[in-house]
Amino acid sequence: MKNTIAIASAFIAASSFSTAEIVVNDFLSFEGFVDSSYWHSDTDSDNPSESGSANSYQVDQVEISWLFNFDTVTAQIDLQYEGDSNLTTGADGELVEQAFVNYALGNGDVITAGRYASMLGFEAFEPTGLYQYSTAYSMSGLPGYAQGVKYTRESDTSFFGISIQDEAFNNGANSLGGNNNDGSYAVELAYSQVLGNGIAVFLGGAYEDGDALGDTYIINAYTTYETGAWLFAAEVNFFKSENILFSFTGADVDVLSGLLMANYAYSDTASVTARVSYEEVDENGAVDEFIKYTLAHNKALAENLALIVEVSYSEFDLDGNTDDADALELAVELLFTF
The predicted structure's pLDDT at residue 20: 62
* Mean pLDDT within 294-310: 95
Dmax (CA) of the chain:
62
The predicted structure's pLDDT at residue 21: 75
The predicted structure's pLDDT at residue 196: 93
Question: Which among 97, 96, 101 has a CA at the least distance from the CA of 69?
Answer: 101
Does residue 247 carry a pLDDT above 90? no
Does residue 201 carry a pLDDT above 80? yes
According to DSSP, the residues that pair with 232 across neighbouring strands are: 225, 262
The predicted structure's pLDDT at residue 34: 95
* Mean pLDDT within 245-255: 73
The Cα–Cα gap between 11 and 4 comes to 12
Enumerate the domain spans of the chain.
4-337
What mean pLDDT, rounded, does the chain reach? Answer: 85
> What is the per-residue pLDDT across 228-245, written as a single tens digit (0 to 9) for each?
999 999 999 999 988 766
The least confident of 43-52, 179-188, 262-271 is: 179-188
104 CB neighbour count, 10 Å cutoff: 13
Does residue 328 carry a pLDDT above 90? yes
Enclosing H/E stretch for 261: strand 253-264
Question: Would you place residue 26 in the very low, low, confident or very high pLDDT band (cuts 50, 70, 90)?
Answer: confident
According to DSSP, the residues that pair with 210 across neighbouring strands are: none
Does residue 12 carry a pLDDT above 60? no
Please give the model's pTM, rounded to 2 decimal places. Answer: 0.87
Question: Would you place residue 178 in the very low, low, confident or very high pLDDT band (cuts 50, 70, 90)?
Answer: very low
> What is the per-residue pLDDT across 103-152, written as a single tens digit (0 to 9) for each?
999 899 999 999 999 999 999 999 999 999 999 999 898 999 989 999 99
Does residue 88 carry a pLDDT above 50? no
Does residue 84 carry a pLDDT above 60? no
Does residue 44 carry a pLDDT above 90? no
The CATH code that applies to domain 4-337 is 2.40.160.10
Question: Who contacts 8 (Cβ-Cβ below 8 Å, separation ≥6)?
Answer: none
